[in-house]
Structure 1
């Protein structure tokens, strides 16, 4: 399975302390977007200090106007509050969805925890309806855990 072949590459990218963290995060985005055909936008959002808002971090894909997201708004904002993965098979069925592009059909957001605090998340949009499985969730949890190790 593709996820098993990507795990060592994720570890290699994330653990290379000679490269600034934001560059490593961008490299993770590039790896995922180019390796998984239904990952069409891959990016990170991080909590903005003590404010209840998320700030866009490194990403690949179409440009977005959503560089600041208040907690509770959209899928990312909901994950900032719930501390749980959120998988949306059909974004058009979501009332609290922030549309980034008319081509997006599905979204998955997985939080990043450091010392049990939700400090950010990985956000993936897909132009394919209902593409995400439990395997995607487990893989993205792995990616987030590897990133969290670098943020301790």
Structure 2
């Protein structure tokens, strides 16, 4: 009888076919960690001025309009005295807008009140002049 067949010689040692054992992953302990800051964006964020630029200054539009209208009245022929006080107040309000914003707004409001009051007084004076002229008319038809 022939000898029993023998297994072919192993190319690798039997230990190579064993399932490897794995170590559990080592995670850092939970808790606050310091992350580096994010890199600066190439584009500026909405509403934020770029670095190196100052924030835009507020403009007192009411004071600017008061100054323009009063200036036009000062240089007109009939309303020079009406526009002069509010023109001066408007100029002062415009010069204070960078240092005292609330004071500039207050002065512009006062300038509008002065302009309106003087305009109303001028209209009343014209009406009174006409009424007096009609009442004292001595001409006979």
Larger Rg: 2
| Relative contact order higher in (CA < 8 Å, ≥ 6 apart) | 1
Q: TM-score, normalised by structure 2?
A: 0.22
Instruction: Give 1 or 2: higher strand fraction.
Output: 1
Q: TM-score, normalised by structure 1?
A: 0.20
